[in-house]
Structure 1
Amino acid sequence: MVSAFTAGNYSFIPAVFQYSSGAAADPGFEIERVRFDRLLPLAEGFATAADYIRSAGRPLTSFCACELRSPAAFTEDGFRAFNEHYVKTLAEWEIYDGATNPVARSNVCPEIDPPAESSFYAFSFTRPKADAPPSFVIAGGAEAREGAGSYVERTVRYRDLSLEGIKDKVRFTVGQMEARMAAFGFSWTDTSAVQAYTIRDFHPVLADELVRRGAVRSGLTWHFARPPVVDLEFEMDCRRVRRETVI
């Protein structure tokens, strides 16, 4: 199911209170992705993003996705506490209404040289463009099934780091990306960039589980980072964005 967020000129896949599963620009609009040259602490990142969006003549409600970096994987309680803090700014920007959050997000944890606090790596927003081709950002997803229950209950091959365990984790995550894109009517052939986040060696399953499925048609960016919750091992996100900027 896809919902409209008319104030931001994009549609989104509803998920949980902290993020949506993806955002896609409305016709006549495109998504611009802006990556910071250095990580910015959360508050500074939000403020800098706000300045950039306003300078582009856009409302803050056009903010549609972000990519975060955190010091280390959270416990479930810690992750919820972080998310409750994170959505306060989105509420101030009249994006989060206390229940539904249209903003797609990834939040991963660099294994080497992590930031001292949760920080911004990149953000995306919509801007008008009459002849814009479709653009979308799919939120980060790991090997945890959606729905009720703890991460322990929902994690595919929980704590299984065998080759077969990694294979099933990767396969599930790739399938999750495919399902999210399909909700917007897209597939791997539409992507302009795909990112993977793990500290585990997934090369033995790369050809069968990603390449043969078309997931790396534009290459694959591997970030040596953990997913945001303890004992998750493999995360991905993907996008179709023509305009990308580094500031």
Structure 2
Amino acid sequence: MNPIDFAAGNYRYVPSVFQYSAGAAALPGYHVERVMFRNPVPLKEGFARIAGLIQGAGRPLTSFCACELRSPAPFDDAGFKAFNEVYVGTLAEWGIYDPATRANPVARSNVCPEIGGPPEPSFHAFSYIAEGDAGVPQFVISGSGEAREGAGPYAERIVRLNDTSPQGLREKGVFVLEQMEKRMAAFGHGWPDTTAAQVYCVHDIHPFLADEIVRRGAARCGLSWHYNRPPVVGLDYEMDCRSVAVERSL
């Protein structure tokens, strides 16, 4: 997990899969600003609004560094790939995603609200790089579910597939906590540097993970729990985290 500089956006990123990076961090002299929509905005409209907001702030579209998506229901593997191909199309137009190398510096999370979800994939929030050093770490770590890295079907890579027992959920949660730590460590950071962390799960996993979260230091950083499902069929648990200087809602 060696970060790569994305000079056009004034940030660096940890490479992952074609649809997103493992995380993005502002370069010296810059900071992260996060904007949350009060209501989910459909993908196409969301990209248009995001472009207007970034350019209105005097920043290039390449400063788009992270987003949080909401989908109506978990995808199967083929559906998820098809959605991602559409998603990265706009990033290619913005000069962020490279179709030739399939390199994508943008961090991302994508979950499915169990109650009151959007009728189509939508933006919940996004982050971009703004000028000015915040004096503290500035990063956004992509959401991770309990799936091991690899190119095979998700069902072959999911930790304790379909196991929602207390021990199964605990093992899933520990795996994801460790993924967050590996991604932050790639930038030289850890839980003490974070300003917020979000957990997504429809199972009552907190009692089985509370001690692990406290022991690792994740509880100190504005941890919040959300009744959402991960974006792919078979996954039960997802988490993301960030250290952001400016957050606002529209």
Same fold at TM > 0.5:
yes
Q: Percent identity?
A: 60
For residues 131 and 153 of structure 1, the distance between their equivalents in structure 2, rounded to whole angstroms, comes to 42
| Deviation at residue 131 of structure 1 after TM alignment | 5.0
For residues 233 and 207 of structure 1, the distance between their equivalents in structure 2, rounded to whole angstroms, comes to 17
Kept after mapping to 1: 8 A contact 2:134/2:245: no
1:133 is paired with a residue whose SS is coil
Kept after mapping to 1: 8 A contact 2:31/2:134: no
| Deviation at residue 48 of structure 1 after TM alignment | 0.6
Q: Please state if 1:82 is matched with 2:83.
A: yes
Question: Aligned AA for 1:42?
Answer: L
| Deviation at residue 44 of structure 1 after TM alignment | 0.9
Aligned to 2:191: 188
Question: Aligned AA for 2:55?
Answer: R
Question: Aligned AA for 1:207?
Answer: A
For residues 231 and 139 of structure 2, the distance between their equivalents in structure 1, rounded to whole angstroms, comes to 22
Unaligned residue ranges in structure 1 (runs of 5+)? none
Aligned to 2:114: 111
Compared CA separation, residues 176 and 131, structure 1 to 2 (3 A): closer
Aligned to 2:205: 202
Aligned to 2:128: 125
The 5 A counterparts of 1:208-219 are: 208-219=211-222
The number of residues matched between the two structures is 247
Compared CA separation, residues 131 and 79, structure 1 to 2 (3 A): closer
Question: Aligned AA for 1:229?
Answer: V
1:34 is paired with a residue whose SS is strand
Kept after mapping to 2: 8 A contact 1:167/1:209: no
Compared CA separation, residues 125 and 204, structure 1 to 2 (3 A): same
Deviations 1:138-173 (A, max 9, x none): 000010001122111110001111110000000000
Instruction: Identify the range of structure 1 (63-72 vs 199-208) with the bigger mean alpha-carbon deviation.
Output: 199-208
| Deviation at residue 21 of structure 1 after TM alignment | 0.4
Question: Aligned AA for 2:220?
Answer: R
Question: Aligned AA for 1:48?
Answer: R
| Deviation at residue 128 of structure 1 after TM alignment | 0.8
| Deviation at residue 207 of structure 1 after TM alignment | 2.0
The 5 A counterparts of 1:5-84 are: 5-84=6-85
Q: Please state if 1:164 is matched with 2:186.
A: no
Deviations 1:198-227 (A, max 9, x none): 101112223222122111102311111000
Kept after mapping to 1: 8 A contact 2:197/2:240: yes
For residues 41 and 104 of structure 2, the distance between their equivalents in structure 1, rounded to whole angstroms, comes to 22
Kept after mapping to 2: 8 A contact 1:29/1:132: no
For residues 134 and 209 of structure 2, the distance between their equivalents in structure 1, rounded to whole angstroms, comes to 36
Unaligned residue ranges in structure 2 (runs of 5+)? none
The 5 A counterparts of 1:122-161 are: 122-130=125-133, 132-161=135-164
For residues 97 and 222 of structure 2, the distance between their equivalents in structure 1, rounded to whole angstroms, comes to 34
1:124 is paired with a residue whose SS is strand
TM-score, normalised to structure 2, is 0.97
Aligned to 1:229: 232
TM-score, normalised to structure 1, is 0.98
Compared CA separation, residues 143 and 130, structure 1 to 2 (3 A): closer
RMSD in angstroms over aligned alpha carbons? 0.9
Deviations 1:169-208 (A, max 9, x none): 0000000000000000000000000000110111222322
Deviations 1:33-70 (A, max 9, x none): 00011110001111111111001100000000000000
Moved over 6 A (4+): none
1:79 is paired with a residue whose SS is helix
For residues 235 and 68 of structure 1, the distance between their equivalents in structure 2, rounded to whole angstroms, comes to 13
